[in-house]
Amino acid sequence: MARILKASGADSPVLREAAAILSSGGLVAFPTETVYGLGADGLNAEAVAKIYAAKGRPATNPVILHVEGIASAKVLVSQWPEAAQRLAERFWPGPLTLVLPASGLVPAIVRAQGPNVALRCPSHRLALALIRAVGRPLAAPSANRSQHLSPTRPEHVASSLGEAVDLILDGGPTEAGLESTILDLCGERPRVLRPGPVAPADIEAVIGSIDIWEGAVKMGDMQSAPGMAERHYAPRARLELVEPGRGCVSSGSRLAYVAFGALPALPEGVRGISLPLDAEAVGARLYALLHDLDDAGFERILVERPPDGETWMAVRDRLRRASAKESA
């Protein structure tokens, strides 16, 4: 198992060791405010290649570069539009990722050979301290095997990636619990590629009307953004979305039923779980709950269709992907 170490602050020996590992081309998992990331020096193509190997990630899926602020983002892009400036001023550090045309500094492997790069400035103090200590942008996808659930606790990273990671920085459970909102600023109109903690309405309040990529809200064409494979964020157990309030007829000790709000009557033996009618609170708990059900050996998880409305968009997106069939 990889070492899991707590870092007390920016000048702690553990943080210095983590920075040294990254500077010499190794992998360190670290907490962000969304999920744990699997970090490598984002300007070192060989180090980034280790991320792909550790995750079993297809080379067609690009990775996000994590920066300490606007100045370090600007050198990684060939254009920094007014919208990027305004959004970064408003939401960084925080869970908003911006896709922009890449500068010559960004290795091709980071971009999956495409012309654009995804950038975000995380707000977690350990993530920021680590980026500063390394003095370079950190490439970091979620610290899990490809297509599996993202980690919200250090133990999740250890059980998913094992020896493939040199060190796991322990920052406790993550706060938001769902991955960042991704906004593509390369097209004619800004477009959400992945819904997340920053809601479309919050973005529109800063830059005016935006589009939401179809694939992000309903089934359909999943190929228009790199790496947006339909099945994703999935537990080992089979997850099925069901109509709210109907309950279930099957029973068995390896069956869990998740409701938003009150639980319907359930057959004996079915584990019922009631989540609050609060999208943010559900986002914070969702992955940890699915990890726990996996660890407890549940084979099927029935989840009621989450409520409508924009605040629930990220939760709906992740549950829909978690319930998608394995692609051939």
* Separation CA 34–CA 142 (nearest Å): 9
134 three-state secondary structure: helix
The span from the CA of 25 to the CA of 4, in Å, is 19
Using Cβ positions, the residue closest to ligand TXA within the complex turns out to be 227
Q: Which stretch binds Mg ion (CB under 5 A): 6-14, 72-80, 138-146, 164-172?
A: 138-146
Residues 6+ apart with CB under 8 A from 2: 29, 157, 158, 161, 162, 163, 164, 165, 166, 167, 168
Among 34, 72, 142, 323, binds Mg ion (CB under 5 A): 142
Q: Which residue lies nearer to Mg ion by CB, 34 or 142?
A: 142
Residue placing its CB nearer to ligand TXA in the complex, 143 or 207: 143
Does residue 32 bind Mg ion (CB under 5 A)?
no
Out of 228, 256, 282, 289, which residue is the one contacting ligand TXA (CB under 6 A)? Answer: 228
**What is the phi/psi pair of residue 116, to 5°?**
-115, 160
Q: Is 126 in the site for ligand TXA (CB under 6 A)?
A: no
Kindly state the tokens that stand for 252.
Answer: 């068995």
For residue 140, state whether it binds ligand TXA (rule: CB under 6 A). Answer: yes
Q: How many CA atoms lie within 13 A of 199 on its CB side?
A: 12
Q: Give min distance, CB of 44 to Mg ion, in A.
A: 21
* CA-wise closest residue to 252 among 235, 271, 274, 238: 271
Choice between 184 and 304, CB closer to ligand TXA: 184
Give the count of residues interacting with ligand TXA (CB under 6 A): 29
Residues found near ligand TXA in the complex (CB under 6 A): 32, 34-35, 37, 61-64, 95, 97, 99, 111, 114, 116-118, 120, 122, 140-142, 179-180, 182, 193, 225-228
